[in-house]
Amino acid sequence: MVKLCAKKITSFLIYNEAIDSKESENYEYGFETLIAFLLNIFVILTISCMLNKFKYTLLFLCCYCPIRQYTGGYHADNYKKCLGVFITIYLINLVLLTIINFFDLKEMLIILTFISYVGIWILSPIEHREKPLSDEEINHYKKVSRTLISIVLIFIFMGINSEVIYEYSAYAASSIIWIFIMINLAIIKNRGGIHI
């Protein structure tokens, strides 16, 4: 469905001479990525509304998506699996944050966040199999990802002990942890150890 939509949009733009037909593959890939991203966001936000977690989820996505764009990490083999993995991550995240909150495990959350921060700082960016990066791009992605995770980390440390914004901080922290997990899954997959 995603590929078909991307093809139709690209064909429409070529037909109307809005884009050059020589660039059709690049546009198709770009539209595929955009459609899959929007579908994932729509599904997650719909679930968050049903679970009354919209504001927290929106913050999670605002931290997770831009940083992940620059850090790279695990990518599923197709768009259905990608959506499935993202929904699974989201639901596991909700359960784990509920457990952390219930048992007052703030210290554990802070430790995991800091370990993840250091891991992201050292390991990112992880190249996507379909889009290798030049040395210049690697340096740029590294700088941007380090800047973004540092901003999020400052927000987390400012809010983790505040009753007013604790839950927001916890969701921001979980975004850093999940990005680190996705980086490690990509490393394992690239070595042939994971087939999701």
Q: Which residue type occupies 174? A: S
Regarding pTM above 0.85, the answer is yes
pLDDT tens digits, one per residue of 103-151: 999 999 999 999 999 999 999 999 876 678 899 999 999 999 999 999 9
Q: Among candidates 69, 80, 74, which has minimal Cα distance to 189?
A: 74
At 196, is the pLDDT very low, low, confident or very high (cuts 50, 70, 90)?
A: low
Mean pLDDT of 71-94: 93
CA neighbor of 60 nearest in space, from 69, 52, 48: 48
**pLDDT of residue 22 exceeding 90:** no
Task: Kindly state the percentage of the chain with pLDDT values over 90.
Answer: 69
Domain ranges of the chain: 1-50, 52-190
Give the residue-averaged pLDDT of 32-45.
Answer: 94
For the segment 172-190, the average pLDDT, to the nearest whole number, is 95
For residues 4 and 35, the answer to whether their CB atoms sit within 8 Å is: no
Compare 89 and 78 and report the one with higher pLDDT.
Answer: 89
Q: What is the pLDDT of residues 56-66, one digit of tens each?
A: 999 999 999 99
Coil, helix or strand at residue 33: helix
- The answer to whether the bond into 125 is cis (omega within 30° of 0) is yes
The SS3 call for residue 26 is helix
Beta-carbon contacts of 111 under 8 Å, excluding residues fewer than 6 positions away, are none
